[in-house]
Amino acid sequence: MKNRDSLTAYAMASPALLFLLVFVIAPLFMALRYSFFNVSFYQDSTFVGLRNFSIILKTTLFRQSLINAGKFVCIIVPGMMFFSFLLSNILKILPRTWADFSKTVLYIPGIVSGIAVALIFNFIFNFNAGIINQSLRALGFDRIAFFNSPVLAVLSVSAVTAWIGLGGNTILMYAALVNIPQEYYDAASIDGAGALGKMLFITIPQMKNIFILICISLTTGTLQMFDLPYMMTGGGPASQTLTPMLYLYNNYRDVDKGLGYTIAGALIMLVIIASVNAVIFKIIRSEKSLEA
């Protein structure tokens, strides 16, 4: 009976394992192989060893893109975590009808294409015809060149990214928040705990796992940013919004650079993202919630 159950389990898991092998594991090994070659569409590939990795790691623009990605992570991840947590607590105290309506409104930006969102905000931030600058002119103020200032460009892309993802993360936190047993808060009230004490010693510890999930999701997504910087700033000004994925995309379109070079950069990003996620798991360990 035990052997029969094992065979049934393997049979049920085999389609998923097959898809994983064909579409994930095999392409990964193929990419790893190509990264050691000077791959060209017009001539035979030649083995170059680790030269592709060495070249891309020494490239100033690629290193700048990594720094930019770090800046976006430092801005977007803490900001999204804070405002999602704040909004989820506001949703909890709202009447059910208003809470349901607010959740719907908050989630709408998350289902809109990033390209469409970038086009909308390009119009909003436009120097000549943008809504913001038209309003500033009407009020007698000077217009603001959002995409000509490195600081404003980074903040603009970060704000749009946060606008897209805020609703989904808020709903995730709200779901975790309402699942905390009310008995915990009642017991804390009997012991004389205030609102701040309940937040620090009940709410935040009980939501630890959802914090980890959102933190990893946001960090991974931010390191892979492409569509918004591409559509809004093109990586400018002065390459201050150039992300690693945008840099690799530009190199892929450059026929003078081999495909192996681009694949090497993609593998470097894979290692970086995996390492960052491992560090987050190490620092914030996931724990099973204990019921009273």
Cβ(268)–Cβ(56) below 8 Å: yes
List Cβ neighbours of 254 (8 Å cut-off, separation of 6 or more). none
Residue 37's pLDDT is 85
Residue 43's pLDDT is 65
- Total tally of structural domains belonging to the chain: 1
Is residue 26 situated within a structural domain?
no
Cβ(184)–Cβ(206) below 8 Å: yes
Q: Which residues pair with 46 in a beta bridge?
A: 38
Q: Side chain identity at 4, as an amino acid letter?
A: R
Domain CATH code at residue 87: 1.10.3720.10
Cβ(184)–Cβ(202) below 8 Å: yes
DSSP-derived secondary structure letter, 214:
H
List Cβ neighbours of 204 (8 Å cut-off, separation of 6 or more). 211
Is residue 279 situated within a structural domain?
yes
Strand segments (E) across the chain:
37-38, 46-47
Is residue 292 situated within a structural domain?
no
Cβ(213)–Cβ(172) below 8 Å: yes
Residue 162's pLDDT is 92
Is residue 7 situated within a structural domain?
no
Q: Give the pair of three-digit tokens for residue 56.
A: 């891309």
Distances (CA, A) of 288 to 177, 192, 261: 15, 27, 43
Ordered per-residue pLDDT tens for the chain, 292 residues: 566 777 888 888 899 889 999 988 898 888 888 888 887 666 667 888 888 899 899 999 999 999 999 999 999 999 999 999 999 999 988 888 888 888 888 888 888 888 899 989 998 998 888 889 999 998 888 899 899 999 999 999 999 999 999 999 999 999 999 899 889 888 888 888 888 888 888 899 888 889 988 999 999 999 999 999 999 999 989 899 999 999 999 888 776 667 888 889 999 999 999 998 888 877 776 555 444 4
3-state secondary structure of 36: coil
Residue 256's pLDDT is 67
Is residue 1 situated within a structural domain?
no
Peptide bond into 237 cis (omega under 30): yes
Residue 229's pLDDT is 93
pTM of the model: 0.86
Q: Give the pair of three-digit tokens for residue 75.
A: 């801005």
Is residue 38 situated within a structural domain?
no
The Cα 31–Cα 226 span in angstroms is 20
Is residue 50 situated within a structural domain?
no
Residue 171's pLDDT is 92
Q: Which residue has the tokens 């998923």?
A: 16
* Range of the structural domain that residue 148 is part of: 58-283
DSSP-derived secondary structure letter, 66:
H
Cβ(87)–Cβ(106) below 8 Å: yes
Is residue 12 situated within a structural domain?
no
Residue 291's pLDDT is 46
DSSP-derived secondary structure letter, 140:
T
The Cα 150–Cα 275 span in angstroms is 28
